[in-house]
Structure 1
Amino acid sequence: MNGSQADAGAQAAWLSSCCNQSGAPPEPPEGPRALQAAVLGVLSLLVLCGVLFLGGGLLLRAQGLAALPTRERRASREAEPGGASGGDDDS
């Protein structure tokens, strides 16, 4: 083995000890990545629950507002005939 082959071997050993075969830095350990995934999962569930809660509240409010004129019309129709018949009963 000549000097250039020894240098190439040492360089390859150093490269494999600090980097993977593509020359890129090694990947971080899986622990922090798993923790990050868990935190993101919990946050996304909280956001989803908040959207559903607020959306449900808005939907109930919209249904109540849509039903309000119907109730008022019904109440006014019932009050007119009821008021006239009630006046007749009192006389």
Structure 2
Amino acid sequence: MTPASPRPAAGDHRLTLDVGGKQRSVLLHVPPGYTGTNPVPLVVALHFYPGSGERLRDMIGMDAKADEHGFLVAYPDGVAGGFNALVCCGAEATSPS
């Protein structure tokens, strides 16, 4: 999303961003009642290796907490299933993720 993008409605949104020439995807959960007029916290939930944002979302129940307390949750997908942590990610470990 860019500053000129419309505010997301309540619910789940699959977003795709171009980062350094790579298409990156993120699942964004927006709580009910979110209008975008007031700042709210954003929790970025990084998944395990190998994994995906959607798999983490299904495991941890953060969406229910976001709905209860009024914050956004972003579940990005790492490159090749990871986030360049230690030596887990093979050749992708040399490029930022």
Same fold (TM over 0.5): no
**Range into which the TM-score falls when normalised by the shorter chain:** under 0.3
Q: Judging by fraction of residues, say which structure has more helix.
A: 1
Question: Structure 1 length as normaliser, TM-score?
Answer: 0.18
Q: Judging by fraction of residues, say which structure has more strand.
A: 2
Question: Structure 2 length as normaliser, TM-score?
Answer: 0.17
User: Larger Rg: 1 or 2?
Assistant: 1
